[in-house]
Amino acid sequence: MIGISDAEYAGMVNRWGTPNWVRLKSSNLPDRYVRHADRIARVDAYPFDPYQDQMWRMVPGLADSAGVSFESVNYPGNYLRHYDYAVRLDPNDGTATFRADATFHRTAGLADGTWSSFRSHNFPTRYLRHYDYRLRIDPLGAGSPAIDRQDATFRVTA
């Protein structure tokens, strides 16, 4: 795959604007992006099919507008949410529990402050992270092992 230059990207943004979706790139597995596959949230090496599985609308948090929720682009109305600490893609059932499970608070990246980490709204000591290529929420902080903090750090990108 061949990338584009900054000038080419700027030209496209000037002509068409920025996309209304984002991707989440893993900090410590830089060829991998957050995606859903069979309703399971995971990090997989790009490219994969369908490529839309990695595209998210980052919308105001369903439980708290100061947070964010990740709505699937190819399955509108379906959001990343944790259930029993595992993260999956589910349709919004309108319950308070779902809204809380699907809301995350964006913070400076635990491994790199220029990237992002996402703290669970209803389990505030737990962060979105990958483990064995699957997403989950685990208790993490500044004292956590470096590898765990890297697993919980993502670049929000187009």
Query: pLDDT value at position 90?
Result: 98
In a domain, 147, yes or no: yes
Which segments of the chain have a pLDDT < 50? Answer: 1
In a domain, 9, yes or no: no
Query: pLDDT value at position 46?
Result: 92
Cα torsion angle, 155, 71, 44, 50, sign: negative
In a domain, 150, yes or no: yes
Query: pLDDT value at position 11?
Result: 78
In a domain, 85, yes or no: yes
In a domain, 121, yes or no: yes
Query: pLDDT value at position 6?
Result: 79
Tell me the CATH number at 68. 2.80.10.50
In a domain, 57, yes or no: yes
Query: pLDDT value at position 127?
Result: 98
- pLDDT tens by residue, 86-121: 999 999 999 999 999 999 999 999 999 999 999 999
Query: pLDDT value at position 155?
Result: 96
In a domain, 65, yes or no: yes
State how far the Cα of 28 lies from the Cα of 147, in Å rounded to an integer.
8
Query: pLDDT value at position 16?
Result: 67
- Strand ranges for 1-157 from DSSP E: 23-26, 32-37, 40-45, 56-60, 68-72, 78-83, 86-91, 104-108, 116-120, 126-131, 134-139, 154-157
Query: pLDDT value at position 82?
Result: 98
Query: pLDDT value at position 14?
Result: 74
Query: pLDDT value at position 152?
Result: 98
In which domain, by residue range, is 67 found? 18-157
Domains: count for the chain: 1
What's the one-letter identity of residue 80? L
pTM for the complete prediction? 0.88
Query: pLDDT value at position 108?
Result: 97
